[in-house]
Amino acid sequence: MCGLAGVARIGGQDLGPETDGLLNRLTDILHHRGPDECEVLRQGPVGLAFTRLSLVDPEDGSQPLVSDDGQLVLIANGEIYNHKELASALPSDVRLSTGSDCEVLLYLYRRHGMDFLRDVRGMFAVVLWDRARRRLVLARDRFGIKPLYYHQNDERIVLSSEIKGLFADPATPRRFDWAKALAVPSLAAAPRFSAPEPCTWFEGVTSVPAATIQCIDLQDGSSTRHRYWELPSEPEESGDARHLTERYAELLEASVRDCATADTELGLFLSGGVDSAAVLALAREQLGEVHTFTALSGGTRENGDAESSDRLARELGVHNHQVVFGPQDVPTADEWARLVWLTETPMTGPEVYYKHELHRFARQERPELRGMLLGAASDEFNGGYSGEVGTDWASFLHSVEGMSRATWHDQEPMLRHWWTPSGSFIDSRALRELTGRAHDAYTEYLGSEYRKIQQYNVWHEDRTAAGSGVEARVPFLDHRLVELVATVPEHLRPELLWNKRILRDSVRGWVPSWVAEREKVPFFYGPGTGHAYRMLVRLMKRDGRELVNRALSAPGAETFLDADAIGAALTGFGDGYTDAASVEILMGVVNMGLLAGMAAQPPTLSDLSAGPVRTALPHGVHPVTGTEEQFAAAVVHPYTPDQVPVVSEALLVLSDAEGTCYLANEGQIEFEVEPKAPILRVVRCIDGEATLAKVLSEAGVALSDVGDELDALLGQRLISFDD
């Protein structure tokens, strides 16, 4: 991973020495992306800045790279996995002068022009200065794993791996784009397909599209784009399930082998599911000693991720660091603002926070670690979400059809009237043709997932890793793998793509059967979600709602944000366990305000504190063993045994003639419980003076038996705990 930046003058004139200050500021801003080395080059109308994180050929991989005739200059971020194969096919008179995996790109471009990335396999962002043609060539990998942004006016173009770098140039607007941001469906959790183009969130900022080569003529500033890859949209009609599964296994093994190649230490995020388990099983022999990192929170303990990761690491004989996120661990306003500025997206939420903290811990624990293997982006193409929106393949497709209709209704609102709940006299295929939509809703769905990973997945994976000087590597985004699953014949989709069957069957023999068949659980959604949402609520309420007040004072907030509604929502959430999805939506709204404020007066990332690095469970202590009561209280539940529980006056215990008991909130029944339920004994023993430990002892109940019920009562504010 590296940081790329530059500035180029339009109109033919050379840059002057005054540009050096801007180039040096750019290297400072992107230092976290490349802490090992920085270089600046000013040549004619182009100035380039490069910061390096050394993973391949640390001694001989400096950039910029220059062709043997001096006509091509290149800086690149990422890895070219098949660089040796590509180099062997170059003309015999080409002699590569470094061990850099990116140098081969110079000669591929010289030989093939706009087709130079056709056979390249990897993740990359490229800036190439073609001196002879006086043009700047910008390009990104097929999935946009590596970022590249620019701002262009009539006089110059400035570019950077991160948006904050563009703000170093006074001519770049420093305004959050409220209108475009509010039109992003996923930010409001709308059940729609992803927008055609990723939103960059800021006015005047453009992202070089994934799978695209963009040429900018520095004589007149004109620009052309060449798309060198498309997500396949036509299913293959050949092949059976067994053949496709075997082929998937071969490709996954090859992809992991590519991603696990480095001259420095690599780690792995281990979630306990089949995705990261498969990557670990394939990578461990190549890497030898490998350290894995798992988020240990109330949510991951409740959904089984923490236990599964611990068990798998022990069975495979690797190190597993269970990094603790306790119920009292809430970032400060400054720490959260820094995270939002690092990620540059209002879609910063619990998942992003956890991963950022895992990277920080990993880099402190293993100072030589430079890369992290991830199981990310498997669900998007392997049918990982099918079981979340359907009970079988047919119901999954029905849900997908609904999302498709809702999306094109937004785009063609006048046609909405011909589609009603009771049916329509107009054929749905004809309506689709009028909108130019594909007839295959599943293909539309895959296209939406392809765009979603650019807007959210690879965006935050890049930034959370880069913040700690780490490169994120994503084996499941090998384009050969994605092409295979995208072209599975329609009649084989239920067999291979329901519940990730193609992946589960392909990894048999590599991972224990229990993890191959373990049901998918989201990183923090589903069981245990309330623990993460409670953290967000406490964050927004912390220190007199400081974070929210910052957001409300940002440019544009007075126009776009409803301060009264935000305040009322925070009050309504209470202080306890909550599962309301609107918590995350509100967090996105607050993040928009934070970005608007920081864009207007861009802070220096290195001046912002990320807070203390977290700790992990001591060696030999496991998520489900040891002192269970203390562990559960410290990590899972937002209270400790020595705190005193207090029953709200609104709590009433009722019963009917059959003996069934109810817990009511001001007369409104909230919970139905059995007459001998342990939680009833606990409630009756609470006197407002005894500690929770004493109450549990008097009731003859273990915390593990009533923890979920106590969480629920806390969320309803029917009980509270002293501080």
d(CA 467, CA 525): 24
User: Which amino acid would we find at residue 642?
Assistant: D
For the segment 357-403, what is each residue's pLDDT rounded down to a tens digit?
Answer: 999 999 999 999 999 999 999 999 999 999 888 899 999 998 998 88
Query: Which CATH architecture describes the domain 639-721?
Result: Alpha-Beta Complex (3.90)
* Better pLDDT: 230 or 649: 230
Of 450, 519, 457, 460, the C-alpha closest to 342 is 460
Domain boundary assignment for the chain: 2-174+197-227, 529-607, 639-721
Q: Which of 8-12, 199-203, 642-646 has the lowest mean pLDDT?
A: 642-646
Which amino acid type is present at position 40? Answer: V
Angle, vertex CA 168, rays to CA 165 and CA 173, nearest 5: 95
Q: Indicate the helix (H) or strand (E) that contains 212.
A: strand 212-217
Each residue of 92-139: pLDDT tens digit?
Answer: 888 888 888 999 999 999 999 999 999 999 999 999 999 999 999 999
C-alpha atoms less than 13 angstroms from C-alpha of 415 in its C-beta half-sphere = 20
Q: How many CB atoms lie within 10 A of CB 562?
A: 12
The residues, any chain, with a CB within 8 Å of residue 378's CB and separated by 6 or more, are 275, 384, 476, 500, 503
- Cα–Cα distance, 3 to 447 (Å, whole number): 29
Q: Which residue has the tokens 């913040």?
A: 467
Q: Which residues carry out catalysis?
A: 2
Look at the alpha carbons of 69, 71, 76, 82 in this order and tell me if their dihedral is positive or negative. negative
Does residue 667 carry a pLDDT above 80? Answer: no
Burial grade of 557 (CB within 10 A; 0-12, 13-18, 19 or more): buried
Alpha helices in 507-652 (DSSP H): 513-516, 529-552, 557-560, 563-573, 582-600, 628-631
Residues in Cβ contact with 417 at an 8 Å cutoff, skipping those fewer than 6 apart: none
Mean pLDDT of the chain: 90
Task: Quickly count: other Cβ atoms within 10 Å of residue 227's Cβ.
Answer: 10
Domain spanning 2-174+197-227, CATH class: alpha beta
pLDDT digits (tens, 9 = 90+) for 435-472: 666 568 899 999 999 999 999 999 999 999 999 999 99
Tell me what pLDDT residue 413 has. 72
Provide the edge-to-edge strand list for the sheet that holds 149-152. 37-43, 46-52, 2-9, 156-160, 149-152, 206-207
User: Are 442 and 389 spatial neighbours (Cβ–Cβ below 8 Å)?
Assistant: no
Percent above pLDDT 70 for the chain? 92
pLDDT, tens only, 336-347: 999 999 999 999
DSSP element (H, E) containing 135: strand 135-140
Residues 594-635: pLDDT tens digits? 999 999 999 999 999 999 999 998 877 778 654 444 455 545
The predicted-structure confidence for 302-319, as pLDDT tens digits, reads as follows 889 999 999 999 999 999
Please, what is the end-to-end C-alpha distance for the chain in angstroms? 45
pLDDT of residue 576: 62
Contacts of 272 (CB under 8 A, 6+ apart): 294, 300, 304, 305, 306, 307, 308, 309, 310, 311, 312, 515, 518
